[in-house]
C-alpha cells in the first residue's frame, strides 16, 4: 500500500513538473511571438517600447529569457542638438536592425532591436538609470537588475555607430550580424529618368564636344577644380563626411556659446578643418605664384618683394596650423639647433 502511495506521489510530481515546464515554454513562446509581431509592424524592424512593454518583456519576465533586447534611448526634443547627432544615430541603428533581420530572413528570435523615447517612457529611463544621451543598452537573457546586469555600449562607438554596433552585438551575443544593406543613393525610377535624359542630350553634347564649346575646354574651370580638390584634401573634408562630424558644437555650460575648435585628439569639427584647409590653400597658391608667375617677372625688385611676401605669409599660415596642433594634442613642436652651432 505504501508503495502505491509513493508511485502516486512520483507520478504527480512528474506531471506537475511537466505542466510547469510546458506552461513556461508556452509563456516564453508567446512573448517571442509578440516581439516578432511588433517587429513585423515596424518598417525598419525596430520595436518601439514604452513603460508597459518594458514591464511585459523585461521586468515581469523570469530569467533566463529566450531573447536579448538591444535598446536605443532617444529623446525627440533633443533632435535639434547638433552635437548629439540623434537623428543620424537613429538612422544608423535602424539600418543595422533592418540588415540583421534581412540577413536572418526574419526568423531570428534571439535578438530584437528596440527603442525608448524619453517623453513616453520616463519611468523606464529611471529604471535603466539613463541620465545622458546617446545611449545603447543590451539586456541579456540573464539580466535581472537593469542597473547592474545590462551591458552599455561605449560612448566612443557613437562616432562610427554602424561598425561599432556590429562589433558590439557580435562580441556580446555571439550572433553574426552579416553585411549592412545600405539603401541605394539613386532609386530605379530615378536611374531610368537619368538614362533617358542622357540619351536625349547625348547628340547635343557630342556636337559641343567636337566643336570645343563645352565648359571643360575652359582652362579656368580646370584651375578652379584643381584648387577645390587641393582644398578638399588638406581640409579633411572626407574625414568630416565619413565620420559625419558637425560643423560646430554647442557649449554645454553656456548654450549661447558655440565651439569651433575642439581640444583633444581624434576629433576635428567641420569649421576647424575648413580653417586649416584655408591656411594650407594659401600656402599652395603662393607656391604656385612663385613657381609659375614670379619666374616670368623681369623687374628684380618686384620679384624680390613677391618672394618675401610669399615666404612671410606662408610662414605665418604654417605657424598657425602648428599652434592649433599644439593646442589640440598638447604636444609641443619646436626646432632644434644643429649640434655644431652650440
For residue 146, is pLDDT > 90? no
pLDDT score at 266: 66
The pLDDT score that the predictor gives to residue 217 is 78
pLDDT at 20: 43
Question: What residues pair up with 72 in beta bridges, in sequence order?
Answer: 115, 136
- Report percent pLDDT > 90 for the chain: 26
- The three-class DSSP label of residue 31 is helix
Nearest to 260 by CA among 80, 134, 86, 82: 82
pLDDT of residue 15: 52
Between the alpha carbon of residue 60 and those of residues 65, 74, 145, 314, the distances in Å are 11, 23, 12, 68
The answer on pLDDT for 2 being more than 60 is no
pLDDT tens sequence across 301-340 = 888 999 999 999 999 998 888 888 888 777 766 666 667 7
How big is the CA angle at 326 (ends 248 and 154), to the nearest 5 degrees?
55
pTM surpassing 0.75?
no
Q: What distance, in Å, lies between the first and last C-alpha atoms of the chain?
A: 111
pLDDT (average), residues 104-123: 88
Average pLDDT, the chain: 83
Q: Where are the domains of the chain?
A: 16-173, 218-329
Which of 78-87, 163-172, 219-228 has maximum average pLDDT?
A: 163-172
What is the topology classification, in CATH, of domain 16-173? Glutaredoxin (3.40.30)
Amino acid at each position: 500500500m505504501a508503495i502505491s502511495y509513493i508511485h502516486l506521489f512520483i507520478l504527480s510530481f512528474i506531471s506537475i513538473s511537466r505542466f510547469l515546464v510546458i506552461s513556461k515554454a508556452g509563456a516564453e513562446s508567446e512573448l517571442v511571438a509578440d516581439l516578432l509581431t511588433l517587429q513585423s509592424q515596424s518598417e525598419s524592424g525596430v520595436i518601439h517600447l514604452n513603460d508597459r512593454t518594458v514591464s511585459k518583456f523585461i521586468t515581469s519576465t523570469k530569467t533566463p529569457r529566450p531573447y536579448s533586447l538591444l535598446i536605443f534611448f532617444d529623446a525627440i526634443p533633443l533632435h535639434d542638438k547638433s552635437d548629439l547627432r540623434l537623428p543620424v544615430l537613429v538612422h544608423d541603428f535602424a539600418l543595422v536592425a533592418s540588415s540583421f533581420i534581412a540577413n536572418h530572413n526574419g526568423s531570428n528570435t534571439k535578438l530584437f532591436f528596440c527603442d525608448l523615447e524619453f517623453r513616453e517612457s520616463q519611468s523606464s529611463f529611471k529604471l535603466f538609470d539613463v541620465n545622458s544621451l546617446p545611449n545603447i543598452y543590451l539586456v541579456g537573457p540573464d539580466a535581472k537588475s537593469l542597473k547592474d546586469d545590462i551591458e552599455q555600449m561605449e560612448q566612443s562607438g557613437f562616432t562610427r555607430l554602424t561598425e561599432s554596433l556590429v562589433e558590439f552585438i557580435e562580441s556580446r551575443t555571439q550572433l553574426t550580424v552579416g553585411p549592412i544593406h545600405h539603401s541605394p543613393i539613386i532609386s530605379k525610377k530615378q536611374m531610368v529618368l537619368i538614362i533617358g535624359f542622357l540619351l536625349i542630350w547625348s547628340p547635343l553634347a557630342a556636337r559641343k564636344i567636337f566643336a570645343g564649346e563645352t565648359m571643360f575646354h575652359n582652362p579656368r574651370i580646370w584651375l578652379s577644380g584643381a584648387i577645390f580638390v587641393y582644398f578638399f584634401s588638406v581640409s579633411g573634408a572626407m574625414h568630416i563626411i565619413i565620420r559625419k562630424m558637425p560643423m560646430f558644437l554647442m557649449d554645454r555650460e553656456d548654450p549661447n556659446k558655440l565651439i569651433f575648435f575642439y581640444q583633444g585628439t581624434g576629433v576635428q569639427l567641420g569649421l576647424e578643418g575648413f580653417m586649416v584647409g584655408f591656411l594650407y590653400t594659401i600656402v599652395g597658391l603662393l607656391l604656385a605664384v612663385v613657381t609659375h608667375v614670379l619666374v616670368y617677372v623681369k623687374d628684380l625688385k618686384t620679384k624680390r618683394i613677391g618672394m618675401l611676401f610669399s615666404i612671410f605669409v606662408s610662414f605665418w599660415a604654417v605657424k598657425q596650423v602648428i599652434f592649433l596642433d599644439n593646442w589640440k594634442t598638447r604636444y609641443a613642436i619646436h626646432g632644434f639647433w644643429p649640434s655644431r652651432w652650440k
